[in-house]
Amino acid sequence: MSTARPVVALTFDDGPDPLCTPRLLDILQKHNAKATFFMVGQAAARYPDIVEKVAVGGHAIGNHSWDHPSFPLLTSRERLAQIRACEEVLAPYGQPILRPPYADQNLWSRLDALRLGYQVIMYSVAAVDWLDHDEEWMKGRIMSRIRNGSIVLLHDSLFRYGEDRYADRAPMLRAVDLLLGELSGRFSFVTVPELLREGRPLRKKWFKKCTPDFLNGLKGPYGAGWRYPI
């Protein structure tokens, strides 16, 4: 985003998580910050009370698919079903914003999102919190890149991960607490819909996809092993 005011959107993917998300909400409230949660439908269906708590707290909720596949590897019918299934469980709190899983996108998946009335939201700063970096490393990475209008990618859960240690969200929580403590006087932390009203979206070609081999090596909280359906 290009904005005149010092506003930033923190975004959290892959939740909700029964342990991490409530703790994260407490940190955001402590610093008077708002955020956007791109939720996976399968997780949201398990924890509807947390979905409601996020919304009641004044945060935005976006669509992150039903069970986190790579959209370019799906058919159009499968993509539409993924988005609609997630939309159903997020109702009435979900907003028409979508982040594709793994940030994977091609022209056809983008058109499918538009067909359903969704604006695709990517990011300009990544904390790389899906690996085992500590809080100081993540805070430093974000602070060196953050600008007016930045959209920051973080995760309140990891729906798929490679190593068990990567699933630990404690370093991310500490990083967010440290970051907000240092930057709350310099930036206002708002939701993505609020950020979109502040300025002009910066658009670029974003075509990316994972390989089936990479995806087949991942696992997640709903099973020790996971095979990509191809």
Q: Where are the domains of the chain?
A: 2-216
How much is the pLDDT for 222?
Answer: 58
- Enumerate residue ranges in the chain where pLDDT < 50: 223-230
53 exposure class (CB count in 10 Å sphere: 0-12, 13-18, 19+): middle
How much is the pLDDT for 216?
Answer: 77
Quote the crossing angle between the two packed helices 20-30 and 48-56, to the nearest 10°: 10
How much is the pLDDT for 215?
Answer: 79
How much is the pLDDT for 137?
Answer: 98
Residues designated as active site: 13, 155
Q: Which residues make Cβ contacts (< 8 Å) with residue 14, sequence separation at least 6?
A: 38, 39, 40, 43, 64, 68, 155, 156, 157, 158, 159
Q: What kind of architecture, by CATH, is found in domain 2-216? A: Alpha-Beta Barrel (3.20)
Q: How far apart are CA 219 and CA 148, in angstroms?
A: 36
Q: Which residues make Cβ contacts (< 8 Å) with residue 171, sequence separation at least 6?
A: 129, 132, 133, 134, 135, 138
Please give the model's pTM, rounded to 2 decimal places.
0.93
**DSSP designation for 225:** -
Q: Which residues make Cβ contacts (< 8 Å) with residue 155, sequence separation at least 6?
A: 12, 13, 14, 15, 129, 130, 169, 172
How much is the pLDDT for 134?
Answer: 97
